[in-house]
Amino acid sequence: MKWLLISLLATIAVKANAQNNILLPNPRERTPAPLIVFIDSVKMDSNSGMNYLSWLDPNDILNIFVKKDKVYQQGAIYITLKKHNTLVDLLKDKRMSLNDILIANLSENKGNKSILYFIDEKLITDTLGVRIPSKYVKKVTIIKAEEMPYFKSAFPDTILMMISTKPPVVYIR
């Protein structure tokens, strides 16, 4: 009888613990909070599709710190620049979509041709929301499939647009 009572209590304890574990949320499965970034006290909009951080030169940054408070419980990143004009210029600069860049650099109508976009030699697979400040577009090269041996036969109605946001490499001998 004693053995039966102990096994019954153990079973009840295990089942109760199992139910509690099922009902408790797993902290590892939480969705991350949106990234909150302030650059020179200006809150950057995370929904704009433009990542201002990627266009900042690390040499222009004076200070970076993370602060948690009642408003931003997950924390906010505060970046201070050496010159505030860097941010002003970046915010004023026209951000061009890939289609804007194509229209500005393609002399003829693209028609029904497919377009492959490359930025700094990297293929862009998701072009939605890609915006490049106009001052960072250093060089745009349009290559038609007819001009390339492999693409001519495999993808005859394709245009390759190569965008360079870096200055050309200069070799000194």
pLDDT attached to residue 56: 78
pLDDT of 110-155, one tens digit each?
677 888 899 888 888 888 878 888 888 888 988 888 888 777 778 8
Work out the pLDDT band at 27, boundaries 50, 70, 90. Answer: low
Helical segments of the chain, H only: 2-23, 84-92, 98-105, 149-154
pLDDT attached to residue 55: 73
Give every strand in the sheet of 122-123, ordered side by side.
122-123, 114-119, 158-164, 139-144
Which of 15-24, 38-47, 80-89 comes out lowest in average pLDDT?
Answer: 15-24
The pLDDT mean for the chain works out to 76
Rounded average pLDDT over 73-90: 84
Residue 167 burial (CB count, 10 A): 8
- Name the residue type at position 39: I
pLDDT attached to residue 49: 35
pLDDT of 33-64, one tens digit each?
677 888 888 887 765 434 677 777 888 889 98
- Name the residue type at position 164: S
According to DSSP, the residues that pair with 53 across neighbouring strands are none
- Name the residue type at position 141: T
Characterize the bridge pairing of strands 42-44 and 158-164.
unpaired
HEC profile of 131-162: EEEHHHCCEEEEEEHHHCHHHHHHCCCEEEEE
Cβ-contact 143, 162 below 8 angstroms: yes
pLDDT attached to residue 50: 45
